Amino acid sequence: MPDLPVLGVFVATAVALLLTPGPAILYIVTRSVDQGRVAGLVSVMGICTGTLVHVAAAAIGLSALLVASALAFSTIKYVGAAYLVVLGVQTLLRQSAGPGGISFERRTLRRVYTQGVIVNLLNPHTALFFFAFLPQFVNRSRGDIPLQMTTLGLLFVALSAVTDSGWALAAGTAGNWIRKHSRFARSQRYATGGALIGLGAAAAFAGARK
């Protein structure tokens, strides 16, 4: 582990990154609003599982391979962007029914968890983060670099679990109110679907410009 001052910089930077809205937070908020806090927390578990894969990849050098290979990086980037667009289209196509004219399509908790894993696993920015960020806090003189990267990565996952759970609980609480007001629920469905599609398209076009 790095010295305390260095570790403090790592934690502060990681928290700042985790509080910045991105595909993972958007997915967590969407599920929390749609299905409540339990589903939101399950989605957090899925996101964290996907992050663990990136931690393992960074430790064995796979993240470096992805960044070094334009083809591999672009493939993961476009697959992830396409998946976000698909989620957005599915959200827009959901049919309203039931009391008040609004109901949300329910997903099993296993499906919510699986989708969370996929959303974060196919996020190339996460791989890029671990490749570019973690090595800055590794002390070569202490040896066992993979272990150092794994330890820092696990700390990042723990911080992610805390911040993402906060998003899930807040959005899940708001969702209870939103579902009682059909107008707001309908607006949320279109806003969320549009945001997912826009986010996926923006990621794809950003990659194309590069």
In a domain, 16, yes or no: no
Helix or strand holding residue 145 (H, E): helix 145-178
In a domain, 13, yes or no: no
Domain count, the chain: 1
Would the pLDDT of 176 be above 60?
Answer: yes
- The residue type found at 90 is Q
* Of residues 205, 2, 204, 189, the one with CA closest to residue 93: 189
The pLDDT value given to residue 103? 40
In a domain, 45, yes or no: yes
Would the pLDDT of 1 be above 70?
Answer: no
Instruction: Please enumerate in sequence order all residues whose Cβ is within 8 A of that of 83, keeping only pairs 6 or more positions apart, or say none.
Output: 118, 119, 122, 200
The pLDDT value given to residue 52? 92
Least trusted range by pLDDT, from 113-122, 134-143, 155-164: 134-143
Query: Which ranges in 96-144 belong to alpha helices (H)?
Result: 109-121, 124-132
In a domain, 74, yes or no: yes
pLDDT digits over 15-65, tens only?
Answer: 877 876 677 888 888 888 888 889 999 999 999 999 999 888 887 876 666
In a domain, 100, yes or no: yes
pLDDT digits over 141-158, tens only?
Answer: 776 777 788 888 899 999
The pLDDT value given to residue 174? 75
Residue predicted with more confidence, 113 or 18: 113
Structural domain containing residue 27: 4-8+22-209
Reported pTM: 0.69
The pLDDT value given to residue 125? 67
Calculate the alpha carbon distances from 6 to 49, 82, 130, 139 in Å.
Answer: 26, 38, 17, 11
Read off the tokens for 98.
Answer: 């039931």
In a domain, 73, yes or no: yes
Give the integer Cα–Cα distance in Å for 19 and 194: 21
The pLDDT value given to residue 97? 42
